[in-house]
Amino acid sequence: MPAMKDDCIFCKIAKKEIETAVVYEDDEVIAFKDINPQAPVHFLFIPKKHIETLNDISAEDAVLVGRMVAKMRDAAREQGIAEDGYRVVMNCNRNAGQEVFHLHAHLLGGRKFSWPPG
């Protein structure tokens, strides 16, 4: 298992200590349904490795993050939202409203989104 942090809710999800609706999993990434969905499709993709924010990814994490994004593309296709379109969001720190300090990317789709974001 990659590095974990004991008090981190998403590390607990990665370790299956907290139940979630898992939609995808491999050795380094797990994806699950957001508990408070903001769209018909709202999944969270996380690396199993504990990385606090986007500010903290290292050069060696680039491949992991790239693979994670490709898995989000696959999930969008599987959910039938790829052609209409979808949004991928990574909130970093206070101004973006990051609530959970374990890197995660939101996959949102199934409705039209406005721009710019609030």
Positions that interact with ligand AMP (CB under 6 A): 9, 18, 20, 32, 34-36, 44, 91, 97-100
The number of residues in the chain equals 118
**What SS3 state is found at 68?**
helix
Catalytic residue among 50, 102, 104, 106: 104
Number of residues that bind Zn ion (CB under 5 A): 6
Binding-site partner at residue 8 among Zn ion, ligand AMP, none, CB < 5 to 8 Å by type: Zn ion
Stretch that binds Zn ion, among 43-51, 62-70, 73-81, 83-91 (CB under 5 A): 43-51
Which of 71, 102, 104, 106 is in the footprint of Zn ion by CB under 5 A? 102
Residue nearer to ligand AMP on the CB measure, 35 or 59: 35
CA–CA distance, 68 with 103 (Å, rounded to integer):
11
Closest residue (Cβ) to Zn ion?
8
Q: Sheet containing 86-89: give its strands across.
A: 22-25, 29-33, 41-47, 105-109, 86-89
Q: Is 102 considered catalytic here?
A: no
CB 18 within 8 A of CB 33: no
CB 28 within 8 A of CB 66: no
Report which of 107, 116, 114 is spatially closest to residue 81, judged by C-alpha positions: 107
Residue nearer to ligand AMP on the CB measure, 18 or 70: 18
Residues found near Zn ion in the complex (CB under 5 A): 5, 8, 10-11, 50, 102
Tell me which residues are annotated as active site: 104
